[in-house]
Copies of this chain bind each other. A is one copy, B any other.
Amino acid sequence: MLTFNLNPDLSVPLYSQLYSAIRNALERGEITAGERLPSKRELASHLKISVVTVENAYSQLCAEGYIHSKPGSGFYAEKVQSRLSSENVTPPCIDDEPAGESYRYDFGTNRADTDFFPFSSWAKLSREVLSSQSEELLNSCSPFGTRELREQIAAYLKSFRGMNVHPNQIVVGAGSEYLTGLIIQLLGRETVYGIENPGYSKIQRIFDRNCGGIVPIPMDENGADISRVFSEADVFHITPSHHFPLGTVMPVSRRQEILGMVYSEKNKYIIEDDYDSEFRFSGRPVPTMQSMDTGGRVIYINTFTKTLAPSMRISYMVLPPQLVGEYRRKLGFYACTVPVFEQFTLAEFIRQGFFDRHISRMKKLYRRKRDAFLSIAENWKSADISGEDSGLHFLIHIKNGMGEQQLVKTAQEQGIRLHGLSEYYWADRNSAPDSHIVIGYSGMTENEIKEGAELAGKVWHL
């Protein structure tokens, strides 16, 4: 008869101890396949435990397939291989991701200033949303996002961007990267995409991983020059409001030309990425292509990650009315990826005017930061600045005879991080104009920016 040491003083229940003991005996081959186990009553009296305890252990072993019962006959062992018991194995050791280097002056472009985030307003609204304890907060919302948030986004787009958008055209999702993935699924995975070159490297990588092919769109002084690759791609991802990293704003004639080309063929589309249009420092915001599009060929995409905080993964896209039905049919089964709590909080944040006020404050803050750099750079003799009217970065052409690599390296040696323009060319890198540096200033204080700029001016002998 099977004999095991069971200890009623342990925190592990007796049935569970018995289960483990029998399982181990099976795995060690002490009980062999086909062998009949003692009846529940026999084993209980042998081990001086209750029949219920044995019953629980046996039924767990049955559930996991270690033994099976034959009605009227008893319990029989299954064939099992021995295995490492995971319970006493130490977890694998996996190194942390290597941390990025840290610089005294970081003119990298990927940072945001979060000091001005209106924490107390956000916290107050969150509290109000949570204290409503409404059932709506717990159940899943429409795959497009909550009605409340989509209405607020539509109202915001109307007053801020002059766009006439129905809330049913809007899809809310956890970041532009995620929404881009949905667009690829919507338009078909064999579709070929034109991507701006130079451009934001993540965009290129997302398309490269997921679509039928990518084609670089060359840039000129009017922005993306789609005419040169029009026949090679089906859909064009562009940033007409403010190109990254060149800073180009696409003039209306180019926008009209592109729409005209797209209308001339079936099934060609534009993805208009309006990612930092909120931060235009002079005049009114430039109108979107979405608002010029009478043919239903522009998918507009924007994010709250840049305007609120990088930790907040809320983006949205505006589908042309013509694609809404197809989206519902093809992708309507995907649940919305943004927590409903956050959507309600953000909707109130916009509705009560906090978002507008936050953008105005950030615009002033970022303009001061930009001006801090410019106040130093205006004394530089051989440097041309461009693209400084909007967005959170601009371009400097340094004409001191140094090449891009040398500019970046000499700055780096002094603790200044900055990127050369050629780093943003994902194709045809040699075509990048030499000696151009991309300056992002959003992540530093005004003083740090001035110090960093002064130091760069010294290093580069400007």
- What are the residues of chain B within 8 A of A341 when measuring CB–CB? 126, 311-312, 342
Assuming the contacts A114-B138, A292-B86, A341-B311, asked whether A95 and B168 have C-beta atoms less than 8 A apart, the reply is yes
Is B169 in contact with A92, judged by CB distance below 8 angstroms? yes
- Nearest B-chain residue to A63, judged by Cβ: B249
Is A202 in contact with B287, judged by CB distance below 8 angstroms? no
- What are the residues of chain B within 8 A of A305 when measuring CB–CB? 335
Alpha-carbon separation in the docked complex, A66 to B342 (Å): 40
- Looking at chain A's contact residues, is the secondary structure mostly helix, strand, loop, or mixed? loop
Cross-interface CB contact of A252 among B78, B130, B333, cutoff 8 Å: B78
A: interface residue count bin: 35 or more
Is A174 in contact with B140, judged by CB distance below 8 angstroms? no
Which residues of A from 248 to 297 have beta carbons under 8 Å from B? 249-256, 260, 282-284, 286-287, 291-292, 294
Cross-interface CB contact of A311 among B81, B95, B141, B189, cutoff 8 Å: B141
The yes or no answer to A89 lying at the interface (CB within 8 A) is: yes
Assuming the contacts A96-B168, A166-B93, A310-B138, asked whether A59 and B209 have C-beta atoms less than 8 A apart, the reply is no
Q: How far is the CB of A69 from chain B (nearest CB, A)?
A: 13
Q: Which of A90, A139, A311, A337 has the most CB of B within 10 A?
A: A311
Alpha-carbon separation in the docked complex, A313 to B260 (Å): 41
Is B252 in contact with A154, judged by CB distance below 8 angstroms? no
Q: Which of A116-124, A421-429, A447-455 contacts B (4 or more CB under 8 A)?
A: A116-124
Cross-interface CB contact of A133 among B60, B119, B294, cutoff 8 Å: B119
Q: A36-57 interface mask toward B, CB cutoff 8 Å, 1 = contact, 0 = none? A: 0000000000000000000010
Q: A160-172 interface mask toward B, CB cutoff 8 Å, 1 = contact, 0 = none? A: 0011111011000
Is A87 in contact with B162, judged by CB distance below 8 angstroms? yes
Alpha-carbon separation in the docked complex, A292 to B80 (Å): 12
The yes or no answer to A350 lying at the interface (CB within 8 A) is: no
Assuming the contacts A66-B252, A174-B178, asked whether A282 and B59 have C-beta atoms less than 8 A apart, the reply is yes
Q: A63-95 interface mask toward B, CB cutoff 8 Å, 1 = contact, 0 = none? A: 111100000000000111101101101111111
Is A335 in contact with B138, judged by CB distance below 8 angstroms? no
Is B174 in contact with A313, judged by CB distance below 8 angstroms? yes
Cross-interface CB contact of A164 among B86, B112, B178, cutoff 8 Å: B86
Which residues of A from 312 to 347 have beta carbons under 8 Å from B? 312-314, 321, 324, 328, 330-342
- Nearest B-chain residue to A288, judged by Cβ: B86
Is B139 in contact with A256, judged by CB distance below 8 angstroms? no
The yes or no answer to A457 lying at the interface (CB within 8 A) is: no
Is A119 in contact with B123, judged by CB distance below 8 angstroms? no
The yes or no answer to A131 lying at the interface (CB within 8 A) is: yes
Q: How far is the CB of A100 from chain B (nearest CB, A)?
A: 12
Is A165 in contact with B311, judged by CB distance below 8 angstroms? no
Q: Which of A131, A201, A209 has the most CB of B within 10 A?
A: A209
Alpha-carbon separation in the docked complex, A289 to B192 (Å): 39
The yes or no answer to A381 lying at the interface (CB within 8 A) is: no
25 interchain pairs, CB-CB under 8 A: A19-B284, A60-B283, A63-B283, A63-B286, A65-B222, A66-B252, A80-B252, A81-B256, A81-B260, A96-B168, A114-B135, A119-B130, A126-B126, A139-B309, A174-B174, A178-B178, A185-B210, A189-B189, A189-B210, A201-B333, A312-B339, A312-B340, A313-B339, A338-B339, A339-B339
A residues adjacent to B (C-beta < 8 A): 15-16, 19, 56, 59-60, 63-66, 78-81, 83-84, 86-87, 89-97, 112, 114, 117, 119, 122-123, 126-127, 130-131, 133, 135, 137-142, 144, 154, 158, 162-166, 168-169, 174-175, 177-178, 181, 185, 189, 201-202, 205-206, 209-210, 222, 249-256, 260, 282-284, 286-287, 291-292, 294, 305, 309-314, 321, 324, 328, 330-342, 389
Give me 8 other A-B pairs in contact (C-beta within 8 A), A94-B168, A189-B209 excluded. Answer: A60-B284, A64-B286, A65-B252, A91-B164, A139-B311, A178-B337, A181-B181, A311-B341
